[in-house]
Amino acid sequence: MMTETEFLRKVREIGGKAYVAGGWVRDRLMGRCPHDRDYVLCGLDEGTFAKAFPRAVKAGSFFPVFILTIDGEPCDVAMARTEKKKGIGYKGFVVEYGPDVTIEEDLFRRDTTINSMAWSPEEDKLTDPFGGQADIMAKTIRATSDHFCEDPVRALRAARQAAEFDFSIEMRTLEMMGCCGPELLYEPKERIFGELERAMLCDRPSIFFSMLAEAGILGTVITYLDEMWKSQYENGGEDFIRAMSRLDKTAELCQRPEVRFASLVRSIMHSVEDSEDMLDEIDRELRLPNIWRRCAEFASRHLPDPLKGKDAAAAVDTLTKLHNHPIGIDGCIAITKAEGTIGSYPFLEESELYLEVMKKARAELPAEIEGKARGEW
Protein backbone atom coordinates (compact mmCIF):
# COMPACT_ATOMS: atom_id res chain seq x y z
CA MET A 1 0.00 0.00 0.00
CA MET A 2 1.36 3.40 -0.99
CA THR A 3 1.40 6.02 1.74
CA GLU A 4 0.96 9.73 1.17
CA THR A 5 4.61 10.27 2.13
CA GLU A 6 5.71 7.86 -0.61
CA PHE A 7 3.37 9.50 -3.12
CA LEU A 8 4.68 12.99 -2.35
CA ARG A 9 8.28 11.83 -2.54
CA LYS A 10 7.82 10.18 -5.92
CA VAL A 11 6.00 13.24 -7.31
CA ARG A 12 8.90 15.39 -6.15
CA GLU A 13 11.46 13.01 -7.68
CA ILE A 14 9.87 13.26 -11.15
CA GLY A 15 9.87 17.05 -11.00
CA GLY A 16 6.38 17.84 -9.73
CA LYS A 17 4.71 19.28 -6.67
CA ALA A 18 1.53 17.97 -5.09
CA TYR A 19 -1.20 19.97 -3.38
CA VAL A 20 -4.43 19.01 -1.69
CA ALA A 21 -7.11 21.36 -3.03
CA GLY A 22 -10.78 22.23 -2.74
CA GLY A 23 -13.27 20.99 -0.18
CA TRP A 24 -10.80 19.08 1.98
CA VAL A 25 -8.82 22.25 2.66
CA ARG A 26 -12.00 24.24 3.33
CA ASP A 27 -13.33 21.68 5.80
CA ARG A 28 -9.98 21.44 7.58
CA LEU A 29 -9.91 25.20 8.12
CA MET A 30 -13.52 25.16 9.32
CA GLY A 31 -12.76 22.50 11.91
CA ARG A 32 -14.99 19.98 10.16
CA CYS A 33 -14.04 16.37 9.48
CA PRO A 34 -12.51 16.54 5.97
CA HIS A 35 -13.18 13.78 3.45
CA ASP A 36 -11.97 12.88 -0.03
CA ARG A 37 -8.50 14.28 -0.52
CA ASP A 38 -8.19 15.58 -4.08
CA TYR A 39 -4.63 16.18 -5.26
CA VAL A 40 -3.52 18.71 -7.86
CA LEU A 41 -0.10 18.27 -9.44
CA CYS A 42 1.98 21.13 -10.83
CA GLY A 43 5.11 20.84 -12.96
CA LEU A 44 4.16 17.49 -14.54
CA ASP A 45 2.67 16.28 -17.78
CA GLU A 46 0.26 13.38 -18.07
CA GLY A 47 2.75 10.95 -19.60
CA THR A 48 5.40 11.44 -16.93
CA PHE A 49 2.86 10.88 -14.17
CA ALA A 50 1.36 7.77 -15.80
CA LYS A 51 4.80 6.23 -16.24
CA ALA A 52 5.76 6.87 -12.61
CA PHE A 53 2.41 5.60 -11.27
CA PRO A 54 1.40 2.64 -13.46
CA ARG A 55 -1.37 1.64 -11.03
CA ALA A 56 -3.15 4.96 -11.45
CA VAL A 57 -6.41 4.56 -13.40
CA LYS A 58 -7.31 7.38 -15.77
CA ALA A 59 -10.87 8.58 -15.19
CA GLY A 60 -11.18 11.96 -16.89
CA SER A 61 -12.04 12.33 -20.57
CA PHE A 62 -11.87 16.13 -20.97
CA PHE A 63 -8.73 16.49 -18.85
CA PRO A 64 -6.39 14.04 -17.09
CA VAL A 65 -7.75 12.84 -13.75
CA PHE A 66 -6.42 9.64 -12.24
CA ILE A 67 -7.71 7.46 -9.43
CA LEU A 68 -4.86 6.35 -7.20
CA THR A 69 -5.02 4.51 -3.89
CA ILE A 70 -3.14 6.45 -1.22
CA ASP A 71 -3.14 5.39 2.44
CA GLY A 72 -5.72 2.78 1.50
CA GLU A 73 -8.20 5.31 0.09
CA PRO A 74 -9.00 6.00 -3.59
CA CYS A 75 -7.99 9.60 -4.34
CA ASP A 76 -8.45 11.87 -7.35
CA VAL A 77 -5.14 13.09 -8.76
CA ALA A 78 -5.38 15.76 -11.47
CA MET A 79 -2.93 17.84 -13.43
CA ALA A 80 -3.26 21.57 -12.73
CA ARG A 81 -5.45 23.12 -15.42
CA THR A 82 -7.15 26.26 -16.68
CA GLU A 83 -10.57 26.60 -18.32
CA LYS A 84 -11.84 29.01 -20.96
CA LYS A 85 -15.50 29.43 -21.87
CA LYS A 86 -16.20 28.72 -25.55
CA GLY A 87 -19.82 27.55 -25.61
CA ILE A 88 -23.04 27.09 -23.62
CA GLY A 89 -23.33 25.04 -20.45
CA TYR A 90 -20.87 23.07 -18.40
CA LYS A 91 -19.43 21.33 -21.48
CA GLY A 92 -18.72 24.60 -23.26
CA PHE A 93 -15.16 24.88 -21.94
CA VAL A 94 -11.73 24.53 -23.45
CA VAL A 95 -9.42 22.95 -20.88
CA GLU A 96 -5.68 23.55 -20.95
CA TYR A 97 -3.26 21.65 -18.76
CA GLY A 98 0.44 21.04 -18.60
CA PRO A 99 3.56 21.47 -16.47
CA ASP A 100 3.48 25.26 -16.85
CA VAL A 101 0.08 25.73 -15.16
CA THR A 102 0.55 27.08 -11.64
CA ILE A 103 -1.51 26.22 -8.59
CA GLU A 104 -2.80 29.81 -8.50
CA GLU A 105 -4.07 29.47 -12.08
CA ASP A 106 -5.79 26.20 -11.20
CA LEU A 107 -7.48 27.76 -8.17
CA PHE A 108 -8.61 30.75 -10.24
CA ARG A 109 -10.99 28.58 -12.31
CA ARG A 110 -12.93 27.39 -9.24
CA ASP A 111 -16.33 28.60 -8.08
CA THR A 112 -16.05 30.30 -4.69
CA THR A 113 -13.15 31.53 -2.59
CA ILE A 114 -13.70 28.97 0.16
CA ASN A 115 -13.11 26.25 -2.45
CA SER A 116 -10.16 28.05 -4.07
CA MET A 117 -7.45 27.14 -1.59
CA ALA A 118 -4.69 24.54 -1.68
CA TRP A 119 -2.45 23.02 0.96
CA SER A 120 1.04 21.63 0.54
CA PRO A 121 1.36 18.53 2.80
CA GLU A 122 5.15 18.58 2.53
CA GLU A 123 5.50 22.21 3.56
CA ASP A 124 2.35 22.39 5.70
CA LYS A 125 1.63 25.62 3.84
CA LEU A 126 -1.66 27.13 2.69
CA THR A 127 -2.01 28.73 -0.74
CA ASP A 128 -4.93 31.17 -0.55
CA PRO A 129 -4.68 33.78 -3.33
CA PHE A 130 -8.34 34.86 -3.21
CA GLY A 131 -9.02 35.26 0.51
CA GLY A 132 -10.91 32.05 1.16
CA GLN A 133 -9.74 31.76 4.76
CA ALA A 134 -10.89 35.30 5.52
CA ASP A 135 -14.29 34.55 3.94
CA ILE A 136 -14.60 31.47 6.14
CA MET A 137 -13.98 33.66 9.18
CA ALA A 138 -16.57 36.15 7.88
CA LYS A 139 -19.03 33.33 7.03
CA THR A 140 -19.33 34.64 3.49
CA ILE A 141 -19.80 32.97 0.11
CA ARG A 142 -17.92 34.95 -2.53
CA ALA A 143 -17.24 34.16 -6.19
CA THR A 144 -13.56 33.59 -6.92
CA SER A 145 -13.73 35.65 -10.11
CA ASP A 146 -16.07 36.80 -12.87
CA HIS A 147 -15.57 33.35 -14.42
CA PHE A 148 -18.15 32.19 -11.86
CA CYS A 149 -20.92 32.87 -14.40
CA GLU A 150 -19.41 30.57 -17.02
CA ASP A 151 -20.93 27.47 -15.40
CA PRO A 152 -24.51 28.43 -14.45
CA VAL A 153 -24.90 25.60 -11.94
CA ARG A 154 -22.35 27.42 -9.80
CA ALA A 155 -25.23 29.73 -8.86
CA LEU A 156 -27.09 26.78 -7.33
CA ARG A 157 -23.88 25.55 -5.74
CA ALA A 158 -23.28 28.92 -4.06
CA ALA A 159 -26.81 28.86 -2.63
CA ARG A 160 -26.28 25.29 -1.47
CA GLN A 161 -22.96 26.21 0.18
CA ALA A 162 -24.75 29.03 2.01
CA ALA A 163 -27.28 26.51 3.31
CA GLU A 164 -24.66 23.89 4.14
CA PHE A 165 -22.46 26.23 6.18
CA ASP A 166 -25.09 28.80 7.25
CA PHE A 167 -23.15 31.53 5.42
CA SER A 168 -24.38 34.67 3.70
CA ILE A 169 -23.70 35.47 0.04
CA GLU A 170 -22.03 38.78 -0.75
CA MET A 171 -23.88 41.16 -3.05
CA ARG A 172 -21.64 40.96 -6.12
CA THR A 173 -21.91 37.16 -6.08
CA LEU A 174 -25.71 37.38 -5.82
CA GLU A 175 -25.66 39.58 -8.92
CA MET A 176 -23.53 37.05 -10.79
CA MET A 177 -25.90 34.28 -9.70
CA GLY A 178 -28.72 36.26 -11.29
CA CYS A 179 -26.81 36.40 -14.57
CA CYS A 180 -26.76 32.58 -14.60
CA GLY A 181 -30.55 32.36 -14.91
CA PRO A 182 -30.90 32.18 -18.73
CA GLU A 183 -28.31 29.41 -19.14
CA LEU A 184 -29.69 27.43 -16.20
CA LEU A 185 -32.78 26.74 -18.29
CA TYR A 186 -30.63 24.69 -20.68
CA GLU A 187 -28.70 22.74 -18.07
CA PRO A 188 -29.32 18.99 -17.68
CA LYS A 189 -32.02 18.31 -15.12
CA GLU A 190 -29.65 15.93 -13.34
CA ARG A 191 -27.28 18.78 -12.48
CA ILE A 192 -30.10 20.95 -11.17
CA PHE A 193 -31.54 18.15 -9.06
CA GLY A 194 -28.08 17.20 -7.78
CA GLU A 195 -27.67 20.57 -6.09
CA LEU A 196 -31.27 20.50 -4.82
CA GLU A 197 -30.71 17.07 -3.30
CA ARG A 198 -27.58 18.20 -1.48
CA ALA A 199 -29.39 21.32 -0.26
CA MET A 200 -32.18 19.15 1.14
CA LEU A 201 -29.59 17.39 3.31
CA CYS A 202 -28.61 20.66 5.03
CA ASP A 203 -29.81 21.55 8.51
CA ARG A 204 -31.65 24.59 7.12
CA PRO A 205 -32.54 23.86 3.49
CA SER A 206 -34.66 27.03 3.37
CA ILE A 207 -31.46 29.07 2.97
CA PHE A 208 -30.90 27.45 -0.43
CA PHE A 209 -34.27 28.60 -1.75
CA SER A 210 -34.09 32.02 -0.11
CA MET A 211 -30.69 32.73 -1.69
CA LEU A 212 -31.96 31.67 -5.12
CA ALA A 213 -34.96 33.94 -4.63
CA GLU A 214 -32.76 36.90 -3.69
CA ALA A 215 -30.68 36.27 -6.81
CA GLY A 216 -33.84 36.16 -8.94
CA ILE A 217 -33.34 32.60 -10.19
CA LEU A 218 -35.68 30.56 -7.97
CA GLY A 219 -37.97 30.06 -10.96
CA THR A 220 -35.28 28.06 -12.75
CA VAL A 221 -35.66 25.37 -10.07
CA ILE A 222 -39.32 25.40 -8.94
CA THR A 223 -41.64 27.85 -10.69
CA TYR A 224 -44.43 27.48 -8.12
CA LEU A 225 -42.05 28.42 -5.32
CA ASP A 226 -40.91 31.49 -7.22
CA GLU A 227 -44.54 32.59 -7.57
CA MET A 228 -44.98 32.21 -3.81
CA TRP A 229 -41.88 34.33 -3.22
CA LYS A 230 -43.13 37.09 -5.51
CA SER A 231 -46.62 37.10 -4.02
CA GLN A 232 -45.31 38.15 -0.61
CA TYR A 233 -44.21 41.44 -2.18
CA GLU A 234 -47.08 41.89 -4.61
CA ASN A 235 -49.96 40.73 -2.41
CA GLY A 236 -48.49 40.64 1.08
CA GLY A 237 -48.77 36.85 1.11
CA GLU A 238 -46.90 34.78 3.68
CA ASP A 239 -47.04 31.42 1.91
CA PHE A 240 -43.32 31.42 1.06
CA ILE A 241 -42.23 32.28 4.60
CA ARG A 242 -44.59 29.64 5.98
CA ALA A 243 -43.31 27.02 3.53
CA MET A 244 -39.68 27.73 4.44
CA SER A 245 -40.44 27.52 8.15
CA ARG A 246 -42.19 24.18 7.72
CA LEU A 247 -39.35 22.88 5.58
CA ASP A 248 -36.74 23.68 8.24
CA LYS A 249 -38.92 22.21 11.00
CA THR A 250 -39.34 19.03 8.96
CA ALA A 251 -35.56 18.94 8.55
CA GLU A 252 -35.18 19.06 12.34
CA LEU A 253 -37.46 16.04 12.69
CA CYS A 254 -36.44 13.88 9.74
CA GLN A 255 -33.08 13.32 8.03
CA ARG A 256 -34.49 11.91 4.79
CA PRO A 257 -34.31 14.44 1.91
CA GLU A 258 -37.32 12.96 0.11
CA VAL A 259 -39.52 13.58 3.17
CA ARG A 260 -38.24 17.14 3.50
CA PHE A 261 -39.04 17.71 -0.17
CA ALA A 262 -42.50 16.19 0.33
CA SER A 263 -43.13 18.71 3.10
CA LEU A 264 -42.19 21.53 0.73
CA VAL A 265 -44.48 20.22 -2.01
CA ARG A 266 -47.34 19.94 0.48
CA SER A 267 -46.81 23.60 1.42
CA ILE A 268 -46.83 24.58 -2.25
CA MET A 269 -50.04 22.59 -2.76
CA HIS A 270 -51.74 24.54 0.03
CA SER A 271 -50.92 27.83 -1.73
CA VAL A 272 -52.07 26.83 -5.23
CA GLU A 273 -55.71 27.20 -6.21
CA ASP A 274 -55.58 24.50 -8.88
CA SER A 275 -53.05 21.93 -7.69
CA GLU A 276 -54.10 19.00 -9.88
CA ASP A 277 -51.12 19.27 -12.24
CA MET A 278 -48.72 20.85 -9.75
CA LEU A 279 -46.63 17.78 -8.97
CA ASP A 280 -46.39 16.79 -12.64
CA GLU A 281 -45.05 20.24 -13.48
CA ILE A 282 -42.52 20.16 -10.65
CA ASP A 283 -41.46 16.71 -11.81
CA ARG A 284 -40.90 18.01 -15.34
CA GLU A 285 -38.72 20.80 -13.97
CA LEU A 286 -36.56 18.53 -11.82
CA ARG A 287 -36.96 14.98 -13.15
CA LEU A 288 -37.53 13.57 -9.69
CA PRO A 289 -36.37 10.12 -8.58
CA ASN A 290 -39.28 7.75 -8.08
CA ILE A 291 -39.03 7.76 -4.28
CA TRP A 292 -39.10 11.59 -4.18
CA ARG A 293 -42.11 11.64 -6.49
CA ARG A 294 -43.99 9.05 -4.44
CA CYS A 295 -43.33 10.81 -1.13
CA ALA A 296 -44.36 14.19 -2.54
CA GLU A 297 -47.49 12.66 -4.04
CA PHE A 298 -48.52 11.08 -0.76
CA ALA A 299 -47.96 14.26 1.25
CA SER A 300 -49.84 16.46 -1.20
CA ARG A 301 -52.62 14.11 -2.33
CA HIS A 302 -53.14 11.26 0.13
CA LEU A 303 -52.49 12.71 3.57
CA PRO A 304 -56.02 13.84 4.48
CA ASP A 305 -57.00 17.41 5.21
CA PRO A 306 -56.57 18.19 8.94
CA LEU A 307 -60.35 18.60 9.23
CA LYS A 308 -60.74 14.96 8.18
CA GLY A 309 -57.73 13.65 10.11
CA LYS A 310 -59.79 12.40 13.06
CA ASP A 311 -62.31 10.64 10.84
CA ALA A 312 -62.05 6.87 11.35
CA ALA A 313 -62.53 6.08 7.67
CA ALA A 314 -59.83 8.60 6.70
CA ALA A 315 -57.48 7.10 9.29
CA VAL A 316 -58.00 3.57 7.99
CA ASP A 317 -57.60 4.71 4.39
CA THR A 318 -54.38 6.60 5.14
CA LEU A 319 -52.78 3.80 7.18
CA THR A 320 -53.69 1.30 4.46
CA LYS A 321 -52.02 3.45 1.81
CA LEU A 322 -48.99 3.92 4.08
CA HIS A 323 -48.35 0.18 4.17
CA ASN A 324 -44.89 -0.29 2.60
CA HIS A 325 -44.96 3.30 1.31
CA PRO A 326 -41.51 5.01 1.28
CA ILE A 327 -42.72 8.13 3.09
CA GLY A 328 -43.41 6.04 6.18
CA ILE A 329 -45.42 6.90 9.26
CA ASP A 330 -42.36 8.70 10.67
CA GLY A 331 -42.25 10.91 7.58
CA CYS A 332 -45.91 11.84 7.92
CA ILE A 333 -45.43 12.59 11.61
CA ALA A 334 -42.50 14.91 10.81
CA ILE A 335 -44.50 16.76 8.14
CA THR A 336 -47.62 17.23 10.25
CA LYS A 337 -45.62 18.26 13.32
CA ALA A 338 -43.79 20.82 11.19
CA GLU A 339 -47.05 22.35 9.99
CA GLY A 340 -48.58 22.23 13.47
CA THR A 341 -51.38 19.84 12.60
CA ILE A 342 -50.19 16.62 14.26
CA GLY A 343 -53.08 16.88 16.74
CA SER A 344 -55.48 16.36 13.85
CA TYR A 345 -53.85 13.03 12.99
CA PRO A 346 -54.00 10.92 16.18
CA PHE A 347 -53.77 7.75 14.12
CA LEU A 348 -50.17 8.61 13.13
CA GLU A 349 -48.64 8.71 16.61
CA GLU A 350 -50.96 5.89 17.72
CA SER A 351 -50.53 3.90 14.52
CA GLU A 352 -49.68 0.63 16.29
CA LEU A 353 -52.98 0.72 18.17
CA TYR A 354 -54.94 1.58 15.03
CA LEU A 355 -53.21 -1.14 13.02
CA GLU A 356 -53.95 -3.71 15.72
CA VAL A 357 -57.65 -2.74 15.69
CA MET A 358 -57.69 -2.95 11.89
CA LYS A 359 -56.06 -6.38 12.01
CA LYS A 360 -58.61 -7.60 14.54
CA ALA A 361 -61.50 -6.20 12.50
CA ARG A 362 -60.31 -8.01 9.38
CA ALA A 363 -60.02 -11.26 11.32
CA GLU A 364 -63.63 -10.92 12.49
CA LEU A 365 -64.95 -10.08 9.02
CA PRO A 366 -67.98 -12.31 8.28
CA ALA A 367 -67.32 -14.72 5.43
CA GLU A 368 -70.62 -13.89 3.70
CA ILE A 369 -69.56 -10.28 3.09
CA GLU A 370 -67.95 -10.00 -0.33
CA GLY A 371 -66.61 -7.49 -2.84
CA LYS A 372 -66.89 -3.77 -2.11
CA ALA A 373 -68.84 -4.48 1.04
CA ARG A 374 -65.75 -6.10 2.61
CA GLY A 375 -63.82 -2.85 2.33
CA GLU A 376 -66.73 -0.82 3.69
CA TRP A 377 -67.13 -3.20 6.63
Residue 7, Cβ neighbours under 10 Å: how many? Answer: 20
Does a structural domain hold residue 78? yes
Provide the domain count of the chain.
Answer: 1
Average pLDDT value for residue range 327-347: 90
Does a structural domain hold residue 25? yes
Structure confidence at residue 353 as a pLDDT band (50, 70, 90):
low
As a whole-number percent, the residues of the chain with pLDDT over 90 amount to: 72
Q: Which domain range does residue 16 map to?
A: 1-132
376 compared with 288, residue with greater pLDDT: 288
CATH of the domain at 120: 3.30.460.10
Average pLDDT value for residue range 348-374: 55
Which DSSP category does 152 fall into? Answer: T
Instruction: Note the pLDDT of residue 356.
Output: 55
Whole-prediction pTM value?
Answer: 0.89
Does a structural domain hold residue 9? yes
Does a structural domain hold residue 210? no
Does a structural domain hold residue 101? yes
Is the model's pLDDT at 370 over the cut of 60?
Answer: no
- Tell me which amino acid residue 84 is: K
**Picking from 37-41, 249-253, 309-313, which range would have the lowest pLDDT averaged per residue?**
309-313
Average pLDDT value for residue range 342-355: 71
Structure confidence at residue 374 as a pLDDT band (50, 70, 90):
very low
Q: Check: CB of residue 121 under 8 Å from CB of residue 20.
A: yes
Average pLDDT value for residue range 167-186: 96
Does a structural domain hold residue 303? no
Instruction: List, in sequence order, the alpha helices (H) in the chain.
Output: 4-13, 23-30, 46-52, 103-108, 132-138, 153-165, 171-179, 181-184, 189-200, 206-215, 223-234, 239-253, 257-271, 278-286, 290-297, 312-322, 328-338, 346-349, 351-363, 372-376
Structure confidence at residue 377 as a pLDDT band (50, 70, 90):
very low
Does a structural domain hold residue 102? yes
Q: What is the pLDDT of residues 79-95, one digit of tens each?
A: 999 988 776 656 667 88
Q: What is the pLDDT of residues 213-256, one digit of tens each?
A: 999 999 999 999 999 999 887 776 799 999 999 999 999 999 99
44 compared with 303, residue with greater pLDDT: 44
Instruction: Note the pLDDT of residue 321.
Output: 83
Is the model's pLDDT at 348 over the cut of 60?
Answer: yes
307 compared with 306, residue with greater pLDDT: 306
Structure confidence at residue 310 as a pLDDT band (50, 70, 90):
low
Q: Are strands 65-70 and 57-58 parallel, antiparallel or unpaired?
A: antiparallel
Does a structural domain hold residue 323? no
Is the model's pLDDT at 352 over the cut of 80?
Answer: no
